[in-house]
Amino acid sequence: MDTEALSILVNQIERGTNAARAIQEVMASGEYSPTVWVDGLGYVLDSLNADTKALRRFTDLSRKGAG
């Protein structure tokens, strides 16, 4: 993975984190039932999980290359 791909991955993780924070704020506001946001939160968490796994693969490859 080159630095451009890594930068894109970091950007995706930042966007996912921001989306999770936004959903949490809306859920906490009480304007709508939190159940309205469960699907969106699940999507964000699945995306963050995939991005984290990709980042882990990158760091594992980097370690192997450095050794």
Per-residue pLDDT, averaged over 8-16, amounts to 95
- What's the pTM? 0.78
Which tokens go with 41?
């939160």
> What is the b/e burial string over 35-62, where b = at least 16 CB atoms within 10 angstroms of the residue's CB?
eebeeebeebeebbeebeebbeeeeeee
Q: What is the mean pLDDT of residues 7-32?
A: 92
Q: Helix (H) and strand (E) counts for the chain? A: 2, 0
pLDDT tens-place string over residues 34-48: 888 899 999 999 999
What tokens does 5 get? Answer: 């791909």
Residue range 53-67, pLDDT digits in tens: 999 998 888 888 765
Domain count, the chain: 1
Range of the domain at 62: 3-66
